[in-house]
Amino acid sequence: AQSVAQPEDQVNVAEGNPLTVKCTYSVSGNPYLFWYVQYPNRGLQFLLKYITGDNLVKGSYGFEAEFNKSQTSFHLKKPSALVSDSALYFCAVRGYTGRRALTFGSGTRLQVQP
Protein backbone atom coordinates (compact mmCIF):
# COMPACT_ATOMS: atom_id res chain seq x y z
CA ALA A 1 0.00 0.00 0.00
CA GLN A 2 1.16 3.53 -0.65
CA SER A 3 0.50 6.54 1.57
CA VAL A 4 1.42 10.18 2.06
CA ALA A 5 1.55 12.21 5.25
CA GLN A 6 1.46 15.98 5.41
CA PRO A 7 1.85 16.56 9.14
CA GLU A 8 0.91 20.25 9.16
CA ASP A 9 -2.62 21.37 8.39
CA GLN A 10 -1.40 24.95 8.08
CA VAL A 11 1.92 26.73 7.73
CA ASN A 12 2.24 30.47 8.40
CA VAL A 13 5.20 32.51 7.14
CA ALA A 14 5.95 36.17 6.64
CA GLU A 15 6.44 37.49 3.15
CA GLY A 16 10.09 37.36 2.16
CA ASN A 17 10.92 34.53 4.55
CA PRO A 18 11.77 31.00 3.42
CA LEU A 19 8.99 28.43 3.54
CA THR A 20 8.90 24.66 3.94
CA VAL A 21 5.89 22.39 3.54
CA LYS A 22 6.56 18.88 4.78
CA CYS A 23 5.71 15.56 3.14
CA THR A 24 6.64 11.99 4.01
CA TYR A 25 5.61 8.95 2.02
CA SER A 26 5.41 5.18 2.11
CA VAL A 27 5.59 3.05 -1.03
CA SER A 28 6.99 -0.28 -2.15
CA GLY A 29 10.14 0.26 -4.15
CA ASN A 30 11.08 3.52 -5.79
CA PRO A 31 8.63 6.42 -5.76
CA TYR A 32 7.30 8.94 -8.21
CA LEU A 33 6.63 12.09 -6.14
CA PHE A 34 4.65 15.19 -7.03
CA TRP A 35 3.63 18.53 -5.55
CA TYR A 36 0.46 20.32 -6.60
CA VAL A 37 -1.08 23.65 -5.57
CA GLN A 38 -4.79 24.47 -5.36
CA TYR A 39 -6.36 27.92 -5.27
CA PRO A 40 -9.95 28.36 -4.00
CA ASN A 41 -12.62 26.66 -6.11
CA ARG A 42 -10.06 25.58 -8.71
CA GLY A 43 -8.44 22.34 -9.75
CA LEU A 44 -4.91 21.34 -8.81
CA GLN A 45 -1.93 22.80 -10.65
CA PHE A 46 1.28 20.80 -11.07
CA LEU A 47 4.35 22.34 -9.40
CA LEU A 48 7.13 19.79 -9.67
CA LYS A 49 7.98 16.09 -9.68
CA TYR A 50 10.73 13.71 -8.67
CA ILE A 51 11.19 10.69 -10.91
CA THR A 52 14.87 9.85 -10.64
CA GLY A 53 18.23 11.61 -10.62
CA ASP A 54 19.09 14.72 -8.63
CA ASN A 55 17.55 14.85 -5.19
CA LEU A 56 16.86 18.58 -5.51
CA VAL A 57 14.07 19.25 -7.95
CA LYS A 58 13.18 22.71 -9.23
CA GLY A 59 9.68 23.56 -10.34
CA SER A 60 7.28 26.35 -11.19
CA TYR A 61 7.06 29.77 -9.47
CA GLY A 62 10.43 29.39 -7.71
CA PHE A 63 9.47 26.28 -5.75
CA GLU A 64 11.82 23.38 -5.20
CA ALA A 65 11.69 20.10 -3.33
CA GLU A 66 14.29 17.81 -1.85
CA PHE A 67 13.95 14.05 -2.12
CA ASN A 68 15.42 12.20 0.86
CA LYS A 69 15.25 8.46 0.40
CA SER A 70 16.49 7.52 3.87
CA GLN A 71 13.90 9.72 5.55
CA THR A 72 11.22 8.98 2.90
CA SER A 73 10.55 12.69 2.65
CA PHE A 74 9.89 15.14 -0.14
CA HIS A 75 9.59 18.58 1.46
CA LEU A 76 8.56 21.58 -0.63
CA LYS A 77 10.62 24.74 -0.24
CA LYS A 78 10.88 28.29 -1.48
CA PRO A 79 13.63 30.74 -0.51
CA SER A 80 11.39 33.81 -0.32
CA ALA A 81 7.62 33.55 0.14
CA LEU A 82 5.10 35.79 -1.62
CA VAL A 83 1.60 36.66 -0.45
CA SER A 84 0.37 35.16 -3.73
CA ASP A 85 1.83 31.78 -2.67
CA SER A 86 -1.01 31.47 -0.15
CA ALA A 87 -2.93 28.36 -1.22
CA LEU A 88 -3.49 24.67 -0.46
CA TYR A 89 -0.56 22.37 -1.27
CA PHE A 90 -0.76 18.64 -1.92
CA CYS A 91 1.98 16.04 -2.01
CA ALA A 92 1.31 12.84 -4.00
CA VAL A 93 3.12 9.53 -4.49
CA ARG A 94 3.03 6.49 -6.69
CA GLY A 95 5.34 3.50 -6.82
CA TYR A 96 7.09 2.27 -9.94
CA THR A 97 4.99 -0.88 -9.59
CA GLY A 98 1.72 -1.76 -7.98
CA ARG A 99 -1.25 0.61 -7.82
CA ARG A 100 -1.45 2.55 -11.08
CA ALA A 101 -2.72 5.77 -9.58
CA LEU A 102 -1.49 8.57 -7.33
CA THR A 103 -2.16 8.71 -3.61
CA PHE A 104 -2.54 12.26 -2.27
CA GLY A 105 -1.82 13.70 1.14
CA SER A 106 -4.48 15.59 3.06
CA GLY A 107 -3.06 18.97 2.06
CA THR A 108 -1.31 21.84 3.86
CA ARG A 109 -2.68 25.34 3.79
CA LEU A 110 0.08 27.91 3.35
CA GLN A 111 -0.66 31.40 4.62
CA VAL A 112 1.86 34.11 3.76
CA GLN A 113 1.43 37.30 5.74
CA PRO A 114 2.41 40.67 4.26
Partner 1 sequence: DGGITQSPKYLFRKEGQNVTLSCEQNLNHDAMYWYRQDPGQGLRLIYYSQIVNDFQKGDIAEGYSVSREKKESFPLTVTSAQKNPTAFYLCASSINDLGNQPQHFGDGTRLSIL
Which residues contact partner 1 by CB under 8 A?
A: 9, 32, 34, 36, 41-46, 49, 51, 90, 94-96, 100-107
C-beta closer to partner 1: residue 49 or 75: 49
Q: Give the integer Cα–Cα distance in Å for 51 and 93.
A: 10
C-beta closer to partner 1: residue 42 or 69: 42
Q: Give the integer Cα–Cα distance in Å for 68 and 111.
A: 25
User: 72 and 5 in contact (C-beta within 8 Å)?
Assistant: no
First to last CA, the chain: 41
**Cα angle for residues 89, 19, 26 (degrees, 5° grid):** 50
Least separation, in Å, of the C-beta of 28 and partner 1?
13
C-beta closer to partner 1: residue 53 or 114: 53
Least separation, in Å, of the C-beta of 85 and partner 1?
19
Least separation, in Å, of the C-beta of 19 and partner 1?
20
